[in-house]
Amino acid sequence: MTAPLPTRPDGLWADDLAVGQTFISRTVDVSSDDIVEFAQRYDPQTFHLDDAAARGTFFDGLVGSGWHTAALTMRLFTEALPIATGIVGAGVDLTWPSAMVAGDVLHLEGTIDDITFSKSRPDRAIVVASHQTLNQHGEARQRSTARLLAWKRPD
Amino acid sequence: MTAPLPTRPDGLWADDLAVGQTFISRTVDVSSDDIVEFAQRYDPQTFHLDDAAARGTFFDGLVGSGWHTAALTMRLFTEALPIATGIVGAGVDLTWPSAMVAGDVLHLEGTIDDITFSKSRPDRAIVVASHQTLNQHGEARQRSTARLLAWKRPD
């Protein structure tokens, strides 16, 4: 397979990336309306829907769905690491050390941990990127390690 | 810590779960409008936004964001495994063997792989649940293993 067409012709190819390279995103604000709207569609549990009703439950109040944190993280990721052929994830491991709350101002900090070119398809690489989603107090709301596909810059 | 208040008083407690127990969800339909709307907010890449513009790129057409697949999976999960204190995830590993497309009719199939009660807090358990999100042709769009918190039924 030759490299796919770029989705960002001015973006980064696998040979533009280096192990140890870091990236950082802009911030995104999280409101209670955002939290509730996401939850109504995708994760309609009490502690993601209603602060008063959530008192005494595990989170003891309104918190964002971890999948909402993950979705916002992806938005920041696509902007902070502009791979030419797009952010194409083969898989990801993630943890939520704490839950996102209304008023959080999130940003992403990441590092390229590994780049392995395929032996059978040497124009193609698996890029391992670890990243944290942090709020304005430095609290980690998500930690992730993603395995991404990238290609060498076409001749 | 005593058990948190249930979000689903008629739901399952840790001692209601058994290793090997399976669960299955209803189906959910995926439309191109759904795919594009999610992508505009959380993953605005060409191949999640515009079928024609995505030709020649990695997916060669419109596909859903993996995070959209994950969000729909969570919706099905909350319904298919009604843990009394809610689905509280400590972490998850996930892969996307193939990308979700418009017209997919997804459902979830899962298994409880492990239940480990805490030695220091014996009313609390980590439940490991592996699950697949499959379309109407049996194609796996997501495979996940989640680590969930659950509590023994209070006296």
What pLDDT is stored for residue A1 in this prediction? 58
Task: Give the residue numbers in B contacting A (CB under 8 Å), as ranges.
Answer: 4-7, 38, 41-47, 54, 56-60, 65-67, 70-72, 74-75, 78, 85-96, 149
Hey, what amino acid is at B138? G
B64 in Cβ contact with B38 (< 8 Å): yes
Of B60, B43, B58, nearest in space to A151 by CA: B58
Mean local confidence (pLDDT), B113-134: 97
Whole-angstrom Cα distance, residue A39 to residue A53?
14
Nearest chain B residue (CA) to A66: B89
The residue count of chain A comes to 155
Q: What is the pLDDT of residues B125-144, one digit of tens each?
A: 999 999 999 999 999 999 99
CB-CB under 8 Å, B90 with A42: no
- With H, G, I as helix, E, B as strand and everything else as coil, classify residue A35: helix
Q: Tokens 């997916």 identify what position?
A: B59
pLDDT along chain A (155 residues), means of 10: 90 97 98 98 98 97 98 98 96 97 98 97 96 98 98 93
| CA dihedral (B42, B78, A65, B123) positive or negative | negative
* Nearest neighbour of B74 by CB, restricted to A42, A56, A74: A42
Q: If residue A49 lies in a helix (H) or strand (E), which one and from where to where?
A: helix A46-49
- CATH class of the domain at B14-151: alpha beta
Residues of A with a Cβ under 8 Å from any B Cβ are 4-7, 38, 41-47, 54, 56-60, 65-67, 70-72, 74-75, 78, 85-96, 149
pLDDT value at residue A155: 84
A interface mutation test: which of B49, B88, B131 has the most A CBs within 10 A? B88
CA dist B32 and B35 (Å) reads: 5
Mean pLDDT of B39-59: 98
- Dist CA A128 CA A20 (whole Å): 11
> Could you tell me if B79 and B86 are in contact, meaning their C-beta atoms sit under 8 angstroms apart?
no
Residue B2 has pLDDT above 90, yes or no: no
- pLDDT, residue B1, reads 58
Q: How far is CA A78 from CA A84, B35, B137, in A?
A: 11, 17, 31
A30-62 pLDDT tens trace: 999 999 999 999 999 999 999 999 999 999 999
Residue B4 banded pLDDT, cuts 50, 70, 90: very high
Other Cβ atoms less than 10 A from the Cβ of A86: the count is 26
Distances in Å between the Cα of B40 and the Cα atoms of A92, B47, B51, B155 are 21, 11, 14, 48
Query: Smallest CA–CA separation between B95 and chain A, in Å?
Result: 4
Q: Which of A54, A91, A149 sits opposite B95 (nearest CB)?
A: A91
What's the pLDDT tens digit per position in B72-81?
999 999 999 9
> Could you say which DSSP state residue A16 is in?
G
pTM: 0.97
Q: Over range B56-67, report the average pLDDT.
A: 98
Interface probe, candidates A34, A45, A65, A132, chain B, greatest B C-beta count within 10 A? A45
3-state secondary structure of B1: coil
Q: Tell me the CA distances in angstroms from B51 to A14, A24, A50, B48, B55, one per residue in order.
A: 25, 30, 38, 8, 7
